[in-house]
């Protein structure tokens, strides 16, 4: 009887150790995957920001690629025009304002599902942290937010937010 109890106790201890090791391995793999998602989200945000940077500063500048030095002639419109229904039709920075869509981003041969949200606003040239409402300026702040879609229960979703202030001079010389 004593040997049976010792054998049972040994099996119980072995089972607990095995279970503990499995939990540690799962936690480790979850952290590694989380880091991969972070890198993929950052890559995706940078790709989208570069795409936006490749556009004209304002609608009027799309037809006239000269360096803009004042606010005269700016449309002051934030958001896409009526004829710009798809991202492929966006021709200036502020067309991306309010854009929100799910995306699957390919990174290191793996697909990652994200939610992309973009906001654009006029900001003060002398103090880009001050948003301007109802007034055009030579500075626009673009915010690209990428949020992980398929989040495992043990960790919070990955959220990457990039903000960049863009000006006609920066885009023209870019």
Which tens digits make up the pLDDT trace of 69-82?
Answer: 667 777 777 888 88
- Report the alpha-carbon distance of residue 155 to residue 57 in Å, rounded: 39
Pairing of strands 110-122, 159-166: unpaired
136 dihedral zone (left: phi>0; alpha: psi -120 to 50; beta): beta
* First-last CA distance in the chain: 83
Half-sphere exposure of 167 (CA within 13 A, CB side): 15
Region 141-166 average pLDDT:
89
Average pLDDT over every residue of 25-43? 78
pLDDT of residue 174: 46
Flag the least confident range among 16-25, 61-70, 89-98, 163-172. Answer: 61-70
């Amino acid at each position: 009887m004593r040997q049976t109890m010792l054998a049972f106790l040994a099996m119980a201890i072995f089972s607990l150790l095995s279970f503990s090791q499995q939990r540690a391995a799962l936690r480790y793999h979850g952290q590694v995957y989380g880091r991969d998602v972070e890198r993929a989200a950052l890559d995706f945000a940078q790709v989208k920001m570069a795409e936006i940077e490749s556009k004209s500063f304002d609608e009027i500048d799309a037809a006239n690629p000269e360096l803009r030095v004042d606010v005269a002639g700016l449309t002051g419109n934030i958001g896409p025009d009526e004829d710009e229904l798809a991202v492929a039709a966006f021709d200036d920075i502020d067309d991306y304002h309010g854009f929100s869509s799910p995306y699957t981003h390919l990174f290191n041969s793996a697909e990652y599902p994200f939610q992309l949200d973009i906001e654009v606003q006029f900001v003060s040239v002398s103090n880009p942290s001050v948003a301007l409402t109802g007034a055009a300026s030579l500075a626009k702040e673009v915010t690209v937010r990428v949020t992980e879609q398929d989040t495992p229960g043990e960790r919070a979703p990955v959220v990457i937010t990039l903000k960049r202030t863009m000006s006609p001079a920066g885009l023209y010389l870019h």
